[in-house]
Structure 1
């Protein structure tokens, strides 16, 4: 797998270099070595770490807010069919709204700083709710019938069954949601001219026609996304190992 991955990267770099040579204009397509130099310079500057920290802070805040709210709404939907009938049309509507509309609306309502977290919340909330509800709906009928006979308090069911049942889905959906939230958050930073952040640096590179800088910041975004995916994969693998050990 690693050999194939490295081979693919090498082929892409060769194609990139060929395209840069054909264009003959580093404003259109910079050479790979120009981007590498810019990337190395970024790692030596404090602006990289400040920008990444501020962007991740906004993304994590929006993701955590959407996760907690979606968890509460999903549990209410699981307890009340009437409440679920009211909330499902809202979720269906939310999924049809383009991301750019969320960004523009949030910028009008909240300004540049508050918009990023709000946009991430609005986009990820339906994703979490749908994932949680699908997990809760997959519960076997026999278990539901047993619960009806041996009634327990909601607090007991929440602690003993519902939360453990939803943890794997939190990680699976969280992996996709956090990566998506990161990309959407950077887009909102660019459009909203937010303070320090990756989006601001990308916008500045565009204004100064520093295409190598745009490529370098894009590579940083790819690395961060890969780290997020790797972290969640590790947590899912650990959870699977614990479940396997418990069953055996």
Structure 2
């Protein structure tokens, strides 16, 4: 009986939480529809109906999935490379103070330079097909490095002293002290980095226009003033980014939880 009441409360809480979000989304879609009707020109603002119709036409084509796979693979690769590299550099910077001083100006330059400048400069050296990998990597690296280094520095000193007293090895320190202490910073870095990598990666594709990418589709939609296409591909980017972020963070939490248990 008690379990049934608890389950009912959880279900009501879940319905209330997501019901409000659905209503908020429906409100803004209605505003979008009214604005489109008021303008009366699809070329300026496509209606939700025309965008959904166009999206339905795109989803059933092989070219759509080919473009999604092309961009997804390269942008995610850039993110993962930045995640691994940022963690390694943060550990090195924590371990050796001169490394932190050495990395400081580089990280500052990367954070301060506009994405468009990097894209145009990198086009000189990197083929347009691989540009989104490097740009995604470059934009995410400072976020991961800064957050992980801060997390390591904020590790509870009392726990480390206790580990010294009991002679705890480095492997167990990493599993039971550092990972649990750094996890909030890592999750923050990944959340920010995933949003940045998609924005920067697609921007690189729009400027570099590699064949068979989402950026190429956006570029062509802009050139031919095909507003429904432009909105449809934008929705695709948002959905893919959102789903990957949720799946990746859930997987990261599961992996960290398993490591801590062992």
What TM-score does the superposition give when structure 1 sets the normalisation length? 0.86
Choose which of 85, 92, 109 in structure 1 pairs with 2:101.
Answer: 85
Per-residue Cα deviation, 1:168-188 (whole angstroms, up to 9, x for no partner): 543432232122201211111
8 Å Cα contact 1:66/1:125 also seen in 2? yes
Q: Higher mean Cα deviation, 142-151 or 228-237?
A: 142-151
Give the 3 Å change call, closer, same or farther, for CA 46–133 of structure 1 in structure 2.
same
1:104 alignment counterpart: 120
Matched, 1:64 2:80: yes
In structure 2, distance between residues paired with 1:71 and 1:22: 51
Matched, 1:43 2:59: yes
CA shift, 1:212, in A, is 0.5
In structure 2, distance between residues paired with 1:83 and 1:54: 36
CA shift, 1:40, in A, is 0.6
CA shift, 1:142, in A, is 2.5
Give the 3 Å change call, closer, same or farther, for CA 107–151 of structure 1 in structure 2.
farther
- Structure 1: 5+ residue stretches without partners: none
Per-residue Cα deviation, 1:187-212 (whole angstroms, up to 9, x for no partner): 11000111211111111112222111
Give the 3 Å change call, closer, same or farther, for CA 74–13 of structure 1 in structure 2.
same
1:55 alignment counterpart: 71
Matched, 1:131 2:147: yes
- Structure 2: 5+ residue stretches without partners: 1-16
RMSD over equivalenced CA pairs, Å:
2.6
8 Å Cα contact 1:42/1:48 also seen in 2? yes
In structure 1, distance between residues paired with 2:73 and 2:21: 31
Aligned pairs, how many? 244
What TM-score does the superposition give when structure 2 sets the normalisation length? 0.82
CA shift, 1:64, in A, is 1.3
Secondary structure of the 1:209 match is coil
1:192 alignment counterpart: 208
CA shift, 1:228, in A, is 2.3
In structure 2, distance between residues paired with 1:149 and 1:2: 49
8 Å Cα contact 1:179/1:228 also seen in 2? no
8 Å Cα contact 1:175/1:232 also seen in 2? no
Q: Higher mean Cα deviation, 161-170 or 125-134?
A: 161-170
